[in-house]
Amino acid sequence: MPAYTPPLRDMAFVLHEVLTVSESHPDLDPDSTAAILEEAGRIARDVLAPLNAVGDREGCRLENGVVRTPTGFRAAFDLVREGGWTGLDCDPAYGGQGMPYVLATAVGQMAAAANMAFNMYQGLTHGAYSAIHAHGTEEQKATWLPNMVTCAWTGTMNLTEPHAGTDLGLLRTRAEPQEDGSYRITGQKIFISAGDHDMAGNVVHLVLARIAGAPAGVKGISLFIVPKFLVNADGSLGTRNALSVGKLEEKMGIHGNATCVMNYDGATGTLLGEANRGLAAMFTMMNEARIGVGLQGLAQGDAAYQAAATYARERLQGRAVPAPEHPDAPADPLIVHPDVRRALMDQKAFVEGGRAFLLWAATLIDAANAGDAAAHGLVSLLTPVVKGFLTDKGFEGAVQAQQIFGGHGYIEETGASQFVRDARIAMIYEGANGVQALDLVARKLGQDGGKPIMAFFETVKDFIRENEADARLKAGFLDPLKAASRDLQAAAAFFLDNVKTPNAVLAGSTDFLHLFGHVCLGYLWARMAKATLAGTDDFSAAKLATGRYYMARQLPATALHLARIQSGAEPVMALSEEAF
């Protein structure tokens, strides 16, 4: 069972030396931040990580209509709750601690690395909390939020139906208005993460449904709060609502999280936000939710990398060339082999660059929440990149980590397979990565007259210009960043030239997302390199070397993505449907 080491030094470096978060958040001074992250890291390492394999092996069980979570989950959830971790960035008016999102992101990265399936119970609750907080009436907020902030009650998001996934306009769940102003909800929802379990007193489902007579398509969808137990006027739990778990899905991974088929049989719900504006209400928090999934991809990449690095240092197999490094041992450790190192460097350079990218995006969320419109525009643009790139690459890193274990990576005993299986879902849910790419090129690029993308280019350009005189940065970091950024601009220009042939844009969407992701990581690596220049310790040296690796071996991928984009729609669309 792989151990997990909280990346405290690295997070402190990114938060304080690269992103200088104390400037905008005086409460995030280095000492307080370190104390919080250290304690969160301790829980991740000592409480959550040891339950990761347990959750995978045992999974959840549906017994007499009730979902049982794996051994130890309940006690761990109590501990997390009691520490106040579930409300870290929640509104103090409802019992939250009101800390910045960037801090919650740092904490969440460790929790999701240690035990992704476990952390989802809280993550989903946070999403539902945010939607109610943004769209609820005062009464709704008072009824639901205090218990959701503490995770005494957990939350879920009910979007998908058997025939309606990405295309929510097709959904059929019905909501019939009642005389008392409530609604009776009837329909079936699938793939409901944390849909039921035995760790909380109530489960607060947010359900998308169609009010009788509503317009067809996405403009006739409303959002409802549909709790497992109705809540009395005095706040106590009332009767069981008419909803049930139809079954638990057998999945590739995240076995510790209950993925439920939820049946609503005339369940009582209340409208959240305006009628027929449910999709907008559900998606208000889309940036945070999607960044939260990008976080999972990164986190699994991190955990898998750590396991692989440990294994590569310990497993003796083969000899260094041209001469053994440990002639007295029966063999050298795997890590002496350049190809093993290459795979580890790929992972390490991604994890550290991705962490900086994630935390940067989180600071933009904080700024946007504080009313900075430019930050809101930029983070909206970057959100599909955070989600799509970090989950694709996190999975890729987990696969590379598993490869380092050789045959031992394929058997479940070592845990390497679990990282791959768990990481896989992050590429799919909360908008499959193809949908992220579509969102990026079809909506976000042209958003606000292209202001956000222009702002991004300016940000990168300014950074290059300001530092170009520094020879320590120029050849290793700024020149490759400039080339990559030019590829991104050329791709955007190609889309602009082809704006009247949508397929030419859409055929390049995934490549564009990856191209963009590389430029973001390249930019953050350049910023990190600059921040290490003053340092003389091993950490700084390793950081610089890892960054140089990224710029030399990963960033050149931008040219390939550009070439694919510029090949246009024809190769992609040439075949008839029957020819597949």
How far is residue 454's CA from residue 473's CA, in Å, rounded to a whole number? 24
How far is residue 578's CA from residue 580's CA, in Å, rounded to a whole number? 6
Draw the binding track, 110-149, toward its own copies (x: CB under 8 A; -: no contact): ----------------------------------------
- Name the 3-class secondary structure at 238: strand
How far is residue 25's CA from residue 364's CA, in Å, rounded to a whole number? 12
> CA-based Rg of the chain, rounded to a whole angstrom?
24
485 exposure class (CB count in 10 Å sphere: 0-12, 13-18, 19+): buried
How far is residue 128's CA from residue 156's CA, in Å, rounded to a whole number? 6
Cβ neighbours of 314 (radius 10 Å): 10
Candidates 176, 503, 533, 537: give the one binding its own copies (CB under 8 A). Answer: 503
Candidates 3, 275, 280, 432: give the one binding its own copies (CB under 8 A). Answer: 432
Candidates 78, 412, 497, 537: give the one binding its own copies (CB under 8 A). Answer: 412
Contact between 348 and its own copies by CB under 8 A: the answer reads: yes
Contact between 407 and its own copies by CB under 8 A: the answer reads: yes
The size of the interface with its own copies (CB under 8 A), counted in residues, is 96
Candidates 10, 58, 198, 249: give the one binding its own copies (CB under 8 A). Answer: 249
Draw the binding track, 146-165, toward its own copies (x: CB under 8 A; -: no contact): --------------x--xxx
Which residues, numbered 309-338, are part of the site for its own copies (CB under 8 A)?
A: 309, 312-313, 316-318, 321-322, 330-331, 333, 335, 337-338
Which residues, numbered 537-576, are part of the site for its own copies (CB under 8 A)?
A: 538, 541-542, 545-546, 548-549, 552-553, 556-557, 559-560, 563-564, 567, 569, 571-576
Draw the binding track, 203-242, toward its own copies (x: CB under 8 A; -: no contact): ----------------------------------------
Counting every residue, how long is the chain? 580
Candidates 72, 95, 177, 434: give the one binding its own copies (CB under 8 A). Answer: 434
Give whichever of 378 and 531 is closer to its own copies, judged by the CB atom.
531
Contact between 433 and its own copies by CB under 8 A: the answer reads: yes
Residue from 412, 430, 468, 570 carrying the catalytic annotation: 430
Choose among 191, 204, 399: nearest CA to 297.
399
Give whichever of 275 and 320 is closer to its own copies, judged by the CB atom.
320
Q: CA dihedral in degrees (445, 447, 451, 454; nearest 10)?
A: 0
Cβ-based neighbours of 413, under 8 Å, separated by 6 or more = none
Contact between 468 and its own copies by CB under 8 A: the answer reads: no
Choose among 477, 453, 478: nearest CA to 465.
478
413 included as an active-site residue: no
Choose among 487, 458, 477, 447: nearest CA to 552.
477
